Amino acid sequence: MKIDPKNPANLSAQIATAIRNEIIAGRLIVDERLPSEAELSDQFDVSRPTVREALKRLAAQSLIRTQRGASGGAFVNRISFQEAYAQQVTTSTLLLSMNDVSFETACEARFALERSCATLTAKRRSADHLAAMRAEIHRQSQPGLTDEAFCASDVAFHRALVDGADNPVLSYQLAGAVEAMQPLMNMITFSARDRERIIALHEQIADAAEAHDSNAVFDGLTALEVETQSLAAGVFAQRAAQH
């Protein structure tokens, strides 16, 4: 665990990287306590604020947590699925919004990934997952729902679908794909007719999941992708014509 003192700028980044590598390599295990800030500043031969900046970098990635008081300190953190999930969503959302990713590309990726759940969800979905999907369908049918609320419910529907596969790793990996689409979807205004078509497809998918029919789930998602793409294409074409 060493740093390069010749490069006097970036010290805190170097220290953070050094500690991060120790954690990734498994030499620092979960719940193990790091040396105190004073000890670390001795070890690395830097001041305490520099060590602290390094620790904050690690805390930002949920790699460590800190605790005040006697027998406090910095501890290697067990990354929970929840934390990783939130990070995934943040990173994916920013990636899409900052890099001029076309709606088409993002949508293609999202449905391609989501279809990968079709088989598992059709096989394993619990009554709870089905109920969650039905509840969102019901919400989507409410009149007077804003576009934003409709999109949020759409995301919730798909999350229930993904969670139905009963594989936490799959749920985590898909979090970014599904949730990061929301800002892009929010750019679309849905007519009552559009909503009807989407809700009908959601019902088709929920029915298929209930019947354990994986092919029908797969096909329902594909139909939903086609619907979404053509809807978006229409909105963007109209918007382009106006300007």
Partner DNA sequence: GCAAATTTAATGTCAGACATTTACAATTTT
Partner DNA sequence: AAAATTGTAAATGTCTGACATTAAATTTGC
Site residues, a second copy (CB under 8 A): 9, 12-13, 16, 20, 23-24, 26, 30, 49, 52-54, 56-61, 63, 68, 78-81, 84, 87-88, 90-99, 101, 105-106, 108-110, 112-113, 115-117, 119-120, 165, 167-170, 172-174, 176-177
Alpha helices (H) in the chain, listed in sequence order: 11-24, 37-44, 48-60, 81-98, 103-115, 118-124, 127-141, 147-163, 168-179, 182-185, 192-210, 214-242
Residues 55 and 62: their CA atoms lie apart, in Å, by: 10
Tokens read off for 163: 């969670």
For the CB of residue 147, give the shortest distance to a second copy in the complex, in Å.
18
> Within a 10 A sphere around the Cβ of 151, how many other Cβ atoms?
21
Part of the chain binding DNA (CB under 7 A), chosen from 36-44, 92-100, 126-134, 207-215:
36-44
Task: Please check whether residue 208 is in contact with residue 115, taking contact to mean a CB–CB distance below 8 angstroms.
Answer: no
The mark string for 71-100 relative to DNA (x by CB under 7 A, - otherwise) is: xxxx--------------------------
Among 53, 166, 207, 213, indicate the residue that binds DNA (CB under 7 A).
53
Tokens read off for 39: 């000890």
Footprint on this chain of DNA (rule: CB under 7 A): 8-12, 34, 36-38, 45-50, 52-53, 55, 66-74
